[in-house]
C-alpha cells in the first residue's frame, strides 16, 4: 500500500461513528488500561466489562493491587479463566511499586522489562496510555491487516509485523496510532470476523485484497469456506487446564486456611463426571503445576490459595 492516507481517512471516518463504547477507552489511567489489556488477552469483551469494574473497585490503584493478598486477587478473577493472569498481574504490580515508585514505565521497551508482560500488552499500554507510536498486533488486527493486504492466504503473524509498522499513522495523519489500533480492533471484532466477514460495511473494502473473494458477506457459506481463520476447536473440557480451573474454583470458596489435600480427589472426580473425560494428570501433578504457577500453596497436607 504505497499511500496509506486514504485508508487512514476511511478508517478514521468509520471509527468516528462506529467505535464501540468500552470503559477502558478515553481514560488516562495507565493502571486501568493495563488491567483491561491483561483481562482482554484471553477473555471476550462482554465477560471482561463487569470484571474490569469489580477489579478496579477492589484494587483501585497499582499500589492497592500490590498490597493485596494474592488469594484475594485470584478470587476476584473468578469466571475469567486463565487464572495465571491474576497472579502475573499481582506480581507485576509489586515489581512496579518496588522498582518504579508505583509508576508504570512509559515505553513498550521498558514495560517489556517488567515480569509477566508480553510484547502485545507492552505495546498496547504504551500506545493507549502514553501515546507511543508503536504497532500493535492482536488477533483481530492481524486478521484485518492480513486479509486487507494478503487476501485469504494468511501469512504468519511475524510476516505481518513489517506491514503493521509501515501502516502506522504518522504525524498529520487523519487518525492517531492509538485510534488506528482501536479502530482495527473494532473492525476485526464487528465486521472482519473470523467466520463471516461483512465486507459491504467495512471501511477497508476499497483497499482490501480479500474482499472480492469473501462475497462481501452476502454468502456466509462461501465466506466461511474461504477463510483460513476458523477458530480451532480446542477441547477445553477434559484438558488439564479445565481440571486446574476446577480446583482453583473450589479453593476460591474455601476459607483462607484451605482444605485437606485428600479432599480434592472428590473435586477432581466430580469434574471428571461433569466433563465426561478423565483428568490427563494425577491430582499430585495438577497440584504441583498449580503451585509452580503461584496459584496455590501447599503446607502440611493442606492446600489453599496463596
Q: Hey, which residues does 303 pair with through a beta bridge?
A: 259, 298
Of the candidates 37, 98, 158, 261, the residue annotated as catalytic is 37
Q: In the annotation, is 224 catalytic?
A: no
Is 10 near ligand SF4 (CB under 6 A)? Answer: no
Q: Taking the CA of residue 2 as centre, how many other CA atoms within 13 Å lie in the half-sphere pointing to its CB?
A: 0
What own/partner pairs with CB < 8 Å and gap ≥ 24 does 88-93 have? Answer: 88/38, 88/115, 88/116, 88/117, 89/34, 89/35, 89/38, 89/65, 89/116, 90/65, 90/66, 91/115, 91/116, 91/294, 92/34, 92/116, 92/117, 93/62, 93/63, 93/65, 93/66
Nearer residue to ligand SF4 within complex by CB, 62 or 136: 136
Q: Which stretch binds ligand SF4 (CB under 6 A): 39-47, 57-65, 140-148, 237-245?
A: 140-148
Nearer residue to ligand SF4 within complex by CB, 132 or 186: 186
CB of 206 to ligand SF4, least distance (A): 9
Is 210 near ligand SF4 (CB under 6 A)? Answer: yes
Is 167 near ligand SF4 (CB under 6 A)? Answer: no
Is 214 near ligand SF4 (CB under 6 A)? Answer: yes
230-244: burial string, b at 16+ Cβ within 10 Å, e else: eeeeeeeebbebbbb
Neighbours of 134 (CB within 10 A): 21
- Total binding residues toward ligand SF4, as defined by CB under 6 A: 14
81 vs 70: CA distance, rounded Å? 16
Question: What phi-psi label fits residue 131: left (phi over 0), alpha (psi between -120 and 50 degrees) or beta?
Answer: left
Q: Strand, coil or helix: what is 303?
A: strand
CB of 15 to ligand SF4, least distance (A): 13
Is 137 near ligand SF4 (CB under 6 A)? Answer: no
Nearer residue to ligand SF4 within complex by CB, 141 or 251: 141
Nearer residue to ligand SF4 within complex by CB, 208 or 283: 208
Neighbours of 258 (CB within 10 A): 19
Site string (264-303) toward ligand SF4, x via CB under 6 A: ----------------------------------------
C-alpha cell at 226: 474461504
35 vs 62: CA distance, rounded Å? 10
Q: Which of 62, 144, 160, 271 binds ligand SF4 (CB under 6 A)?
A: 144
CB of 198 to ligand SF4, least distance (A): 6
CB of 222 to ligand SF4, least distance (A): 13
Is 149 near ligand SF4 (CB under 6 A)? Answer: no
Is 73 near ligand SF4 (CB under 6 A)? Answer: no
133 vs 181: CA distance, rounded Å? 10
Q: Which of 148, 163, 271, 283 binds ligand SF4 (CB under 6 A)?
A: 148
Q: Which of residues 170-209 bind ligand SF4 (CB under 6 A)?
A: 191-192, 197, 199, 202, 204-205, 208
Interacting residues toward ligand SF4 by CB under 6 A: 144, 147-148, 191-192, 197, 199, 202, 204-205, 208, 210-211, 214
Q: Which residues are catalytic?
A: 37
Amino acid at each position: 500500500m504505497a499511500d496509506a492516507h486514504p485508508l487512514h481517512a476511511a478508517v478514521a471516518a468509520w471509527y468516528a461513528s462506529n467505535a464501540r463504547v468500552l470503559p477502558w477507552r478515553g481514560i488516562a489511567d495507565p493502571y486501568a488500561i493495563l488491567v483491561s489489556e491483561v483481562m482482554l488477552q484471553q477473555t471476550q469483551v462482554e465477560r471482561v466489562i463487569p470484571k474490569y469494574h469489580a477489579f478496579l473497585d477492589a484494587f483501585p490503584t497499582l499500589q492497592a493491587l500490590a498490597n493485596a493478598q494474592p488469594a484475594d486477587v485470584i478470587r476476584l478473577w473468578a469466571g475469567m479463566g486463565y487464572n495465571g493472569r491474576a497472579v502475573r498481574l499481582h506480581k507485576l504490580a509489586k515489581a512496579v511499586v518496588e522498582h518504579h515508585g508505583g509508576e508504570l514505565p512509559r515505553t513498550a521497551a521498558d514495560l517489556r522489562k517488567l515480569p509477566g508482560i508480553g510484547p502485545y500488552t507492552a505495546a498496547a499500554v504504551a500506545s493507549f496510555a502514553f501515546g507511543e507510536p508503536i504497532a500493535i498486533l492482536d488477533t483481530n488486527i492481524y486478521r484485518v491487516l492480513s486479509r486487507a493486504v494478503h487476501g485469504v492466504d494468511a501469512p504468519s503473524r511475524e510476516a505481518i509485523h513489517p506491514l503493521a509498522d509501515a501502516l502506522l499513522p504518522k504525524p498529520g495523519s487523519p487518525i492517531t496510532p492509538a485510534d488506528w489500533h482501536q479502530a482495527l480492533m473494532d473492525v476485526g471484532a464487528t465486521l472482519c470476523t473470523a467466520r463471516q466477514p461483512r465486507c459491504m460495511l467495512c471501511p477497508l473494502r476499497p483497499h482490501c485484497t480479500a474482499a472480492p473473494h469473501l462475497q462481501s458477506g452476502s454468502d456466509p457459506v462461501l465466506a466461511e469456506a474461504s477463510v483460513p481463520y476458523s477458530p480451532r476447536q480446542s477441547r477445553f473440557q477434559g484438558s488439564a487446564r479445565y481440571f486446574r480451573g476446577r480446583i482453583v474454583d473450589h479453593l476460591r470458596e474455601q476459607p483462607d486456611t484451605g482444605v485437606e489435600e485428600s479432599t480434592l480427589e472428590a473435586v477432581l472426580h466430580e469434574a471428571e463426571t461433569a466433563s465426561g473425560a478423565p483428568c490427563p494428570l494425577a491430582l499430585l501433578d495438577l497440584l504441583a503445576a498449580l503451585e509452580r504457577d503461584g496459584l496455590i500453596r501447599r503446607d502440611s497436607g493442606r492446600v489453599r490459595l496463596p
